[in-house]
C-alpha cells in the first residue's frame, strides 16, 4: 500500500483505503492510531491543500492513487518505503 508523509510533520500518514462504495484517501493519526477520510473539513483542520476538483471517493483504486499522488506533489509529501 502506497503511503505518504509530510517530512516536516510526521504525525499523519496519508493513504488510499477501500471503502464500502469504492476507494478514498484516508489520514492515519499516529498519536491515536485512528483513520479518518480526508474530507475538505479534515483537510482544512490539518492545513492540507486539496486539488481542484477533489473527489472524496473514487470507484477505481487507480484513480484514488492518482489523486493521492497529486495531493502529495501539491503538499510536498514524500512516499514512505516499507
Q: What is the pLDDT of residues 10-63, one digit of tens each?
A: 899 999 999 998 999 999 999 999 999 999 999 999 999 999 889 989 999 999
Domain count, the chain: 1
Mean pLDDT of 69-79: 97
pLDDT at site 81: 86
Q: Any alpha helices (H) in the chain, and if so which ranges?
A: 40-46, 61-75
pLDDT at site 19: 93
Domain that holds residue 38: 3-80
φ, ψ for residue 12, nearest 5 deg: -130, 145
For residue 75, give the 3-state DSSP assignment: helix
Note if the pTM is more than 0.85.
yes
Amino acid at each position: 500500500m502506497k503511503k505518504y508523509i509530510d517530512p516536516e510533520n510526521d504525525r499523519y500518514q496519508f493513504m488510499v483505503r477501500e471503502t464500502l462504495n469504492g476507494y478514498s484517501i484516508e489520514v492515519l493519526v499516529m498519536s491515536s492510531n485512528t483513520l479518518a477520510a480526508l474530507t475538505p473539513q479534515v483537510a482544512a483542520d490539518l492545513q492540507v491543500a486539496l486539488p481542484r476538483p477533489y473527489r472524496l471517493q473514487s470507484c477505481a483504486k487507480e484513480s484514488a492513487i492518482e489523486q493521492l499522488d497529486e495531493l502529495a506533489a501539491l503538499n510536498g509529501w514524500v512516499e514512505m518505503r516499507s
